[in-house]
Amino acid sequence: MTHKGSCHCGRISFEVEGDPEQVMECNCSHCSRKGYLLWFVPREKLRLLTPEDELSTYTFNKHVINHHFCRTCGCAPFGFGEDRTGASMAAINVRCLPELDRSGLDVKQVDGRSL
């Protein structure tokens, strides 16, 4: 299934292929403040519908994840990084998929604060 997503103002829009069953809720200082519910997919499953130069980027801690956000509304719909094997991944904030029913998702709690 293809899900359409965007930031709040719509300046950043994208499509992601797949069906989220489990999402991650991390308690690190960044994720907990933003309220992320993250769904990890291979990078090639996410397709930007807007130019990449519309993305602003934030990194912190080990600077291995590029957290992308909209410079207009501040909404952060996804980030890019690599998994433990070096494969390119996208972390989709499922809260930015407006048509997705999140009520049935399995939410895995992750202790990012201790990492």
Give the separation between CA 77 and CA 38, rounded to whole angstroms: 9
Within-domain flag for 107:
no
Within-domain flag for 11:
yes
99 to 10, 60, 111: CA distances (angstroms): 14, 30, 28
Give the separation between CA 95 and CA 93, rounded to whole angstroms: 5
90 to 93, 103, 104: CA distances (angstroms): 10, 22, 22
Give the separation between CA 108 and CA 13, rounded to whole angstroms: 26
For 13, the domain range is 2-98
Within-domain flag for 55:
yes
The CATH number of the domain where 89 resides is what?
2.170.150.70
Q: How many domains does the chain have?
A: 1
* Verdict on whether the full-model pTM lies above 0.75: yes
> Residue 114's pLDDT is what?
86
Within-domain flag for 45:
yes
> Residue 92's pLDDT is what?
97
Within-domain flag for 111:
no
Within-domain flag for 108:
no
Per-residue pLDDT of the chain (115 residues; tens, 9 = 90+): 999 999 999 999 999 999 998 999 999 888 889 999 999 999 999 999 999 888 999 888 777 789 999 999 999 999 999 998 999 999 999 999 999 999 999 999 998 888 7
